[in-house]
Amino acid sequence: MTNAQKWMAAFLGLFLIFFIIGRITQKDEVVPHMMDENYNSGSSQQESPELDGLTLIKQSGCVACHGQNMEGTKMAPALAGLKEFWSRDGLINYLRNPSSYSGDKRFQDYKLQYRNIVMPSYGNLDVKDLGKMADYLLSK
């Protein structure tokens, strides 16, 4: 065996050892499953707890850029007084795809003020959750 082959074998061996150790020490995840006819839980299907708009905003990471109280930071503008600019549906659509609003004059000004910062898209969130977030933001 050449030195390169020895190093590759050692690397693969270490990789396998770490992979096995990772599998052994991995915590079991609780995976929700669909109940079948043979499973009797005593109740109907369990639902996840409803989250309010502020909780969803915090979980989505909005406070990292917009600030703890949505007062704005050097990274992103304040989120107070959004009723002046947005309807509920308009804000939901914006949250789903912010880049589609880049032609608006207000967003042109934001691009100059907040250089190299991009508003992330939340199209992966459920529309109901986006609605709760929009309701909270419009109430501020």
Please state the CATH superfamily assignment of the domain spanning residues 53-139 in this structure: Cytochrome c-like domain (1.10.760.10)
Number of Cβ atoms within 10 Å of the Cβ of 82: 18
**Structure-model confidence comparison of residues 31 and 65, the more confident one:** 65
The ranges assigned to domains in the chain are: 53-139
Separation of alpha carbons 28 and 88, rounded Å? 40
> Is the pLDDT confidence value at 41 over 80?
no
> Is the pLDDT confidence value at 80 over 90?
no
Question: 56 exposed, middle or buried (CB, 10 Å; 0-12, 13-18, 19+)?
Answer: buried
Quote the pTM value.
0.60
Sign of CA dihedral 140, 133, 69, 79: negative
Highest mean pLDDT out of 35-39, 48-52, 124-128:
124-128
**Structure-model confidence comparison of residues 84 and 49, the more confident one:** 84
Query: With bands split at pLDDT 50, 70 and 90, how would you rate the model's confidence at 40?
Result: very low
Amino acid type, 72: G
Query: Tell me, what's the pLDDT at 49?
Result: 62
